[in-house]
A and B are shown apart, each in its own frame.
Chain A
Amino acid sequence: MLELVDLSHTYGSYRAIDRVNLKVAQGEVVCIVGPSGCGKSTLLRSIAGLIKPTGGTVLLDGKPVDGSPENLAVVFQDYSRSLYPWMSALANVGLPLRRRGLDKKRRDAAALAALEQVGLAGAAAKFPWEMSGGMQQRVSIARALAYQPKLLLMDEPFGSVDAQTREELEDLTLRVCAHHGMTILLITHDVDESVYVGDRVVVLSKAPGTVVGDLPVQLPGPRDQIHTRELDAFVRLRAEVGRLVRGMTPQRNPHGYGLETR
């Protein structure tokens, strides 16, 4: 459904991403890992139509993206600049639904249901500044879920929450998205997380970011925070991704996947 062809972007003379090629199928959960500053957010912003990439194309369902595509939601890295402080959590989650042509009652019901999914039904009337960082990020996730997009982009969505909440949110994302059949592109710098959440892990090199690895994750489902992370396959894959992120050439290639390495 999503295809990136030679996607490149330069800020002034600074090359942030360099000829990224990627194909994502409908319903897939793809994690993108890479070191800090390698252009992950730049990649996501190009897909979301927030910046115009200086080279290459983004295709959605075969059509080139121009501006912000429909049926796309984003969970931004910086939630504090993405939730509106003058609105309650409920209003924040319900606001994008105005475009869906729902009346106020239906919007509020849908927003409340989404807040319930992220465990914040009790905080619906709270304002963002009355909530902890983790709660705000959950509101932001609820907003994306309520919108029911076809493609969900998440930029380090769990970066600012404690380990416990993080695990809960990872599981929540997996559950809800499987249920709605959403396609997800999740950006993270956490190797563990990428292997646990993804159907596929795509590794970006240091800046200028380009794809240096594309590994399918074949772990028995349903995934479980304790058991999945104990599996041999998980541990091996994690080591593999870790090496790629650090820019090492893979020492062994147990699965025989074709890795493009530079």
Chain B
Amino acid sequence: MRRATSGVLRFWIVPVTLVVWELLTRATESPYFPPPSRIATQFYDMWLSGPASQLLLTDGALDTFGPSLGRLLAGWVIAGVLGVALGVALGRIRGLAEYADPVLQFLRALPPPLLVPIFFVLFKIGTPTQLAVIVFGVIWPVLVNTTDGVRSVDKGFLETARVFQFSRYDILRRVILPSAMPKIFAGLRLSLSLALILMVVSELVGSNSGIGYSLLYAQQSYDYAGVWAHIVLLGVLGLLFNALFLVAEGRVLSWHANARRNV
């Protein structure tokens, strides 16, 4: 019942918002707030008027999205792998967390964009710096959730493993990790949306390619419809990533959703 009503809500709220937005922006005629129809046209002209062989994407779109998405995904994957590995170590090695905690809390408190200058010095301008910013910024949700997940494995599961004398590898691979997987996925999902933000931020500061750079360029050429098109693009990408992630999560964690439903 609630699902049905919210579905209907979602359907009518989008066109209504668009119409109101269109009317308001046309009435005010502010150069900073172009009407959505113009933003859409700009969006189409810049990125979606390409040949069918490129899924309608223009060359400009490929040149802009390619580096950005590549860095985003690479950064997210690296952060995911590192975050899970560190999280498992912190959660399972007794005493390590107490030592590492002050350092980690300190690092976590640093806003990643402020570290760009330092990463510049370390890695030079370009992709490595952007990757470092993304990895540094998005590793925390994965790290924290993994630590929490591997710590809160049901005692019964571990006792079974002990009685049947599973090897250390089997305990990790077949008991601890699967059991922590729901939490790890929650962390990864959070990281993915953060990665999108940091990808743009890192390109705004030190880059000569990508969506962030292109956004900056539009702004500096007073192309406000273009700026808005970029904003819409980022929103669409966020939605898309989230949807893809949920599909993957549904596959990997089907046992979890089902087990909870049956309790």
**B32 contacts the other chain (CB 8 A):** no
**Residues of chain A lying within 8 A (CB to CB) of residue B170:** 95, 98-99
A76 and B259 contacting across the interface, CB-CB below 8 Å: no
Q: Chain A: which residue is nearest B154 at the CB level?
A: A81
B256 to chain A, nearest CB (A): 7
Per the bound structure, the CA–CA distance linking A96 and B262 in Å amounts to 26
Using A49-B163, A98-B167 as known contacts, list a sample of 19 further A-B pairs with CB atoms less than 8 Å apart, ordered by residue number in A: A50-B159, A68-B163, A73-B163, A76-B159, A76-B160, A80-B156, A82-B157, A84-B160, A84-B174, A85-B255, A87-B174, A95-B174, A96-B164, A99-B166, A99-B167, A129-B259, A129-B262, A130-B262, A143-B164
Q: Chain A: which residue is nearest B261 at the CB level?
A: A129
A98 to chain B, nearest CB (A): 6
Q: Chain A: which residue is nearest B257 at the CB level?
A: A129
A84 and B175 contacting across the interface, CB-CB below 8 Å: yes
**Residues of chain B lying within 8 A (CB to CB) of residue A85:** 255-256, 259
A-B contact pairs, 27 of them (CB 8 A): A49-B162, A49-B163, A50-B162, A67-B162, A70-B165, A76-B159, A78-B156, A81-B155, A81-B157, A82-B156, A84-B160, A84-B174, A84-B175, A84-B179, A85-B256, A85-B259, A95-B164, A95-B174, A98-B166, A98-B167, A99-B165, A99-B166, A99-B167, A99-B170, A127-B258, A128-B259, A130-B262
Residues of A in contact with B (beta carbons under 8 Å apart): 48-50, 67-68, 70, 72-74, 76, 78, 80-82, 84-87, 95-96, 98-99, 127-130, 143, 147
Q: Chain B: which residue is nearest A77 at the CB level?
A: B156
**B178 contacts the other chain (CB 8 A):** yes
A48 and B154 contacting across the interface, CB-CB below 8 Å: no
Q: Which of B142-195 contact A (CB under 8 A)?
A: 154-157, 159-160, 162-167, 170, 174-175, 178-179, 181
B257 to chain A, nearest CB (A): 10
B37 to chain A, nearest CB (A): 50
A246 to chain B, nearest CB (A): 31
Per the bound structure, the CA–CA distance linking A9 and B221 in Å amounts to 79
**Residues of chain A lying within 8 A (CB to CB) of residue B256:** 85-86
B164 to chain A, nearest CB (A): 4
A74 and B163 contacting across the interface, CB-CB below 8 Å: yes
A86 and B162 contacting across the interface, CB-CB below 8 Å: no
Encode contact with A along B116-159: 1 for CB under 8 Å, 0 otherwise. Answer: 00000000000000000000000000000000000000111101
Total inter-chain residue pairs, C-beta < 8 Å? 72
A147 and B157 contacting across the interface, CB-CB below 8 Å: no
Number of residues from B at the complex interface, CB < 8 A: 23
B178 and A84 contacting across the interface, CB-CB below 8 Å: yes
**Residues of chain B lying within 8 A (CB to CB) of residue A48:** 163
Per the bound structure, the CA–CA distance linking A70 and B163 in Å amounts to 8
Q: A81-B155, A84-B157, A95-B170 are in contact. Are A129 and B164 (CB under 8 A)?
A: no
**Residues of chain B lying within 8 A (CB to CB) of residue A74:** 160, 163
Q: Chain A: which residue is nearest B177 at the CB level?
A: A86
**Residues of chain B lying within 8 A (CB to CB) of residue A73:** 163-164
Per the bound structure, the CA–CA distance linking A72 and B178 in Å amounts to 25
Q: Chain A: which residue is nearest B167 at the CB level?
A: A99
Per the bound structure, the CA–CA distance linking A127 and B262 in Å amounts to 12
Per the bound structure, the CA–CA distance linking A85 and B254 in Å amounts to 10
Per the bound structure, the CA–CA distance linking A255 and B167 in Å amounts to 49
Per the bound structure, the CA–CA distance linking A70 and B160 in Å amounts to 13
**Residues of chain A lying within 8 A (CB to CB) of residue B155:** 81
Residue in B159, B167, B174, B262 with the greatest tally of chain A CB atoms within 10 Å: B159
Q: Chain A: which residue is nearest B162 at the CB level?
A: A68
